[in-house]
Structure 1
């Protein structure tokens, strides 16, 4: 690596350059194929896929199709003689297990009943082609479920029992669980009861957890982590004292805090009890240690306030704690490194000897000295870069003559970090990734402090250059090991999450370039199967949440406009290269995209699996019921019922759908439950909870489809239809628009969700005796079609059926002819869809039967 002459395309010179580089950096192949694809899409005119006179489907027939033998075999099969299962099959079967488990937990079932259901999990995994992959996938579901209802002891115990059962058939899952705990959100990481449960059942690698938590305390500066560690040790002393010896680093870190002046006496007592269990038999209460420690922490002055518990605070003590002469010593070492790099063809021997010297002198032990060492190096490098820009800008006569800053020091620091990780002593390779996490944490704190001090005048160039260097170099470490690459990539992902635009707006453009870089996003989406997908999903949600208020309020100033264009390009590249990713997480993205962003949402909803060929809507007499994909359920990796659980509505919805009591009070109370409080409504820009409506619609539809697949008749399935019809009639204009959008979000590629929700949309139009409902249904469909392509396949199919099947009397509606320009718009769209004249009913392929309503 040439540290002085890095390619010029990795500098950030304004908003335009950031956005213009975006697509070419995302392409995993390193060429411009994705960019050409994105540029080929129209940007200024109406472009509709032109279906022909082919008629669509009959609603009654489509419902019957969902109960076909093929679907029954796929979803309900319990053939234990089946020789092998794919991971997706395992997840489908595990979904059935979780439903049984939820019923048992809701009914306060006994241990024997729960254990009987738990025993089905290892049987599923043992029948899989790839046992480890299936075990990891199922364990991830159980791990998430642990925290969904953490207040229920029975719920937690049941999921812990499932994880134990998985561990018994796949020992490697312990390492994965430890990683998930370590890199999870602070709310999960610092859940004491669940952590103790994991420890008691030997589901955590204590050696790794011990080292991580000791560093996570940040010398007491991370208050929430410190309080958690104290409380955890207090509980373990009384409940699981045998494991305390394995948490020695964590105990040492707290002992160091206890030795400082002003620390509470109760903390010292806790350390004494741990280190002298024979002489100290009395336990400490949570209040004795926790409250006193909290009071002391409240009095400490923090120099850098952060917006999340996951961020690491930077205090004045942190900066002033370096011993005298430490900075000069680090500067001297940095100069020595520069001299090594300046040697002709700086050889690996000199670099490895330098790293060994740093290790032997104690700079790489992973303690506070290591932290100060890397922070000082970064501060020196950034200061050199910014000062060089100030000097060059002051020496020129005009902005056109300005030169880019010198990245020499930044490049040297980047190469030093790369060399340290590359030549780290082999016997301590397990600490290599931990050291990387420490370096990333230092970098995050420095950027946060810089942003706090400079606000909008933050200069992102040196940090951007540093991350680009690391992305290009560090992702090449251990190229033959997917696991090592994955951990490096997730370290970057966690770092970028901590630096998201909501927290550091001035870093937004550099952040978007880094997240979409060809050395990061494509690799994270392909390494270790789909294990990196949740990290990319989280970063995209970070971006969309930042843009949401601007897009919702149509406040697209020049900077936000460029950021929005860059976001669209990222989504287009994902649509082209990783469509399954957008397919599987469409629900999560639709939750955070404002309803006004129709084209952005269309890009996501237009995605379909690469191994599928979409039937051409212009095919005459297209028999949708005969498509093999139409009975298959789509893969959805989002937690569909999360919003329902958050509002404690899931059990009510389940009870309503299962009871089939049409006079239930559930519907009459439902509208009020969908409303936000006045403060929440002001912040969200709507009186309704959009995620809750989306969750209610999709979850209800999925339950209805499962009932149909189980062989139930349409009459038995009428409760779900009743709910949808009630909402369409009783919600006000705003609520109905959001409700219809939630249905339209499921009109995607051929699958049983598209089939069912297309039926729902047409059913509501046909059954309604209120013109306002029919007008809003038309609006929701039409506004998604008059924007630029791409358009979702299911959306086209549904709209074509609506305007061409005379059963719906679409062209007789008064709102079609309320104004000449509106009438011309409908005629133009209809012409694009194959002509104005409705087809003969006999030509309709069976989307709506005579007796279906």
Structure 2
């Protein structure tokens, strides 16, 4: 391309427009890397193209690159968390360069490994200079590739034989000293550039060995045997790498961090290239093994590395962010296996010295995975491979729900933003999380008074700045209306301000809509508390905040209303002030609706979440129970209750007199009693380990009338 540009065979203005469009502020990683390399070639290879001339000829591309550089700090999206986001500039540096330029000059990493070894071993080893009369390799006098490969292969073979000996297992630092001595003699670690080439060749050789073993032995040996043979080489390489990182430069921790980033950079480079070249023949196993074993080794308790434990976790987080499934689809299963590994989850979310940073980083990885799945999950029929990955995703999230529910509590907003609307079970799973120290009240208890619960006055913990997600222009208009309630045009303009789509197939920006709903709700709760009032149907009514919700419910189209009610229902979680406010808001919108269409959509939002597979959020249950129990809402008189034959058959009708003999006096009619008991029985089976707060006397689904169980939604 640079040659075509040099000879004026490209219309630069047209090319600039198309390239800038492809970059899309850094979301298209391949286009971003291509643009950087193309501009660099234009500047270096063509003397007539000065840096200023290139900038003037491709202004749109330069603008997109500038935006991409600030992606990690300034972009108000789920991928930008306060202190733990991975800046795209770092990401580009990791992928685009072959060396980490922040290594402290002039000493080489090899010298620092040498300096950290025991004195008795150092005495017998040379410094980084000519050894035994041989000439050391310098950056300006590189050996040819074949000779260097031969040396690296010899060193790797010798290390594999050495590291599995009992003596090396007992004294790994002494084994490291021996192999470093050989590496010095061969001149393969004399400079940072040579170290980069050494680790790259080692990685490629270990991967090639695995490919050969898989190809030659898979037909004659069980898979486990083949894997163990591959692990023999891969684990030895990881052992050497980890020892060099641990013992490089003594107490100079920055050198250890830089060396780790260099190695991870090399591994990601090799993986990317291998994935592109081999295509469908790509095997993820060697890279998965290298990464997970290296992670386990470097994050295990060790006085040498404890000081830089956060930096180690950050380096692995950056590497996995680069290798996310949207960029390397062939690595998707291995990638999910790594982030779902018990050690990876535990050391990021339980044992970290920087819990807020690691929690945000892990959330970012979860979001990356969900963004990869989202286009497939929007389809009803899933390919077998995606269905299997979806099940794996559910299992990982269930582990987090059970062991680290606070993560889902604090980041449920950005996680739900990436889940397609039709994935009800997945969303329910995220929204069912509640703090470990909380005991949920029985939603079916006859004496439950939601308004009197102390938890309903407490703010939930959130680590997301909702105001930053809303575009500045919209936020200014929103704040102005909430403060003065005087803007006449705001309600008319608001639906159009929410229609800048960020999702294929939708004309609404769901991220912004969700943010607006939560932001308005938080402002409303704050105003109620400032007046020292409680959240009730009376205190939320006839306010600027409710005006926004009511006008949106009326003015939005069917799709927009569905997304609006979804955003409100996403806040029906464990007992807290947000759950209380949005539960009252949804019921108020149902009560004050001027058309049955709105009431039907609210019912649909609640019902489709309740008939999905377990678990179910506590706030969802209490809201629907109130809707069907309280005669003020006249739920059973609405036509849409009976319009669908399958719902009418399974849930509302076919109630025999002899099956209603035990009707509870708390309910105004038989249908309410039946449906309430139905959901009570569903809750017994759906809330699983959380069933400690469910009434044990509630009827099981098998005790209900035949054919009356609701259909479950698999997704």
TM-based fold match above 0.5: yes
Q: Match for residue 782 of structure 1?
A: 607
Within a 5 Å distance, the mapping from 1:701-716 to structure 2 comes to 701-711=521-531, 714=539
Matched, 1:839 2:660: no
The 8 Å contact of residues 459 and 578 in structure 2, kept in 1 or not, is answered as: yes
Q: Match for residue 109 of structure 1?
A: none
- Between the aligned partners of 2:654 and 2:373, the Cα distance in structure 1 is 31
**Alpha-carbon shift at residue 648 of structure 1 (Å):** 3.1
How many residues are paired up? 559
- Between the aligned partners of 2:164 and 2:633, the Cα distance in structure 1 is 78
**Alpha-carbon shift at residue 641 of structure 1 (Å):** 2.8
- Between the aligned partners of 1:666 and 1:761, the Cα distance in structure 2 is 22
**Alpha-carbon shift at residue 674 of structure 1 (Å):** 1.4
- Between the aligned partners of 1:388 and 1:328, the Cα distance in structure 2 is 21
**Alpha-carbon shift at residue 530 of structure 1 (Å):** 2.6
CA-atom RMSD in angstroms: 3.9
**Alpha-carbon shift at residue 394 of structure 1 (Å):** 5.8
Q: Once the two structures are superposed, what CA deviation does each residue of 1:150-203 show, in whole Å capped at 9, x if it has no partner?
A: xxxxxxxxxxxxxxxxxxxxxxxxxxxxxxxxxxxx989xxxxxxxxxxxxxxx
Q: Assess, with a 3 A threshold, how the Cα gap between structure 1 residues 342 and 707 changes in structure 2: closer, same or farther.
A: closer
The 8 Å contact of residues 585 and 636 in structure 1, kept in 2 or not, is answered as: yes
Matched, 1:450 2:278: no
**Alpha-carbon shift at residue 336 of structure 1 (Å):** 2.5
Within a 5 Å distance, the mapping from 1:164-313 to structure 2 comes to 224=36, 262=45, 287=52, 310-311=91-92, 312-313=94-95
The 8 Å contact of residues 160 and 237 in structure 2, kept in 1 or not, is answered as: no
- Between the aligned partners of 1:401 and 1:522, the Cα distance in structure 2 is 26
Within a 5 Å distance, the mapping from 1:66-85 to structure 2 comes to none
- Between the aligned partners of 2:142 and 2:381, the Cα distance in structure 1 is 46
**Alpha-carbon shift at residue 829 of structure 1 (Å):** 13
The 8 Å contact of residues 805 and 838 in structure 1, kept in 2 or not, is answered as: no
Matched, 1:748 2:573: yes
- Between the aligned partners of 1:829 and 1:435, the Cα distance in structure 2 is 71
Q: Match for residue 504 of structure 1?
A: 328
- Between the aligned partners of 2:373 and 2:540, the Cα distance in structure 1 is 44
Q: Match for residue 689 of structure 1?
A: 509
- TM-score normalized by structure 1? 0.60
Q: Match for residue 465 of structure 2?
A: 639
Q: Match for residue 399 of structure 2?
A: 573
- Between the aligned partners of 1:627 and 1:746, the Cα distance in structure 2 is 17
Partner of residue 192 from structure 2, selected from 357, 361, 367? 367
Question: Which fold has the larger relative contact order, with Cα–Cα distance below 8 Å and residues 6 or more apart in sequence?
Answer: 1
Structure 2: runs of 5 or more not aligned: 1-23, 27-32, 63-87, 101-139, 534-538, 670-715
**Alpha-carbon shift at residue 338 of structure 1 (Å):** 2.3
Q: Match for residue 438 of structure 1?
A: 262
Within a 5 Å distance, the mapping from 1:119-134 to structure 2 comes to none
Q: Assess, with a 3 A threshold, how the Cα gap between structure 1 residues 627 and 500 changes in structure 2: closer, same or farther.
A: same
Q: Match for residue 316 of structure 2?
A: 492
Matched, 1:611 2:464: no
| Secondary structure, aligned partner of 2:422 | coil
**Alpha-carbon shift at residue 839 of structure 1 (Å):** 3.4
The 8 Å contact of residues 155 and 183 in structure 2, kept in 1 or not, is answered as: no
Structure 1: runs of 5 or more not aligned: 1-185, 189-220, 231-256, 268-285, 298-307, 842-853
Partner of residue 659 from structure 1, selected from 481, 484, 492? 484
- Between the aligned partners of 1:821 and 1:716, the Cα distance in structure 2 is 36
**Alpha-carbon shift at residue 769 of structure 1 (Å):** 2.2
- TM-score normalized by structure 2? 0.71
Partner of residue 803 from structure 1, selected from 618, 622, 628? 628
**Alpha-carbon shift at residue 511 of structure 1 (Å):** 0.6
Q: Match for residue 426 of structure 2?
A: 600
The 8 Å contact of residues 370 and 418 in structure 2, kept in 1 or not, is answered as: yes
| Secondary structure, aligned partner of 2:262 | helix
**Alpha-carbon shift at residue 355 of structure 1 (Å):** 5.8
Q: Match for residue 391 of structure 1?
A: 216
Q: Once the two structures are superposed, what CA deviation does each residue of 1:810-835 show, in whole Å capped at 9, x if it has no partner?
A: 01111112244322343389999x97
**Alpha-carbon shift at residue 554 of structure 1 (Å):** 2.4
Q: Once the two structures are superposed, what CA deviation does each residue of 1:543-566 show, in whole Å capped at 9, x if it has no partner?
A: 100000000122411110010000
Q: Assess, with a 3 A threshold, how the Cα gap between structure 1 residues 618 and 598 changes in structure 2: closer, same or farther.
A: same
- Between the aligned partners of 1:586 and 1:687, the Cα distance in structure 2 is 23
Q: Assess, with a 3 A threshold, how the Cα gap between structure 1 residues 539 and 317 changes in structure 2: closer, same or farther.
A: closer
The 8 Å contact of residues 325 and 369 in structure 2, kept in 1 or not, is answered as: yes
Q: Once the two structures are superposed, what CA deviation does each residue of 1:326-348 show, in whole Å capped at 9, x if it has no partner?
A: 22222222222123224343233
- Between the aligned partners of 1:314 and 1:531, the Cα distance in structure 2 is 25
Partner of residue 531 from structure 1, selected from 351, 354, 357? 357
Q: Assess, with a 3 A threshold, how the Cα gap between structure 1 residues 317 and 746 changes in structure 2: closer, same or farther.
A: closer
Q: Assess, with a 3 A threshold, how the Cα gap between structure 1 residues 265 and 520 changes in structure 2: closer, same or farther.
A: farther
Q: Match for residue 375 of structure 2?
A: 549
The 8 Å contact of residues 351 and 419 in structure 1, kept in 2 or not, is answered as: no
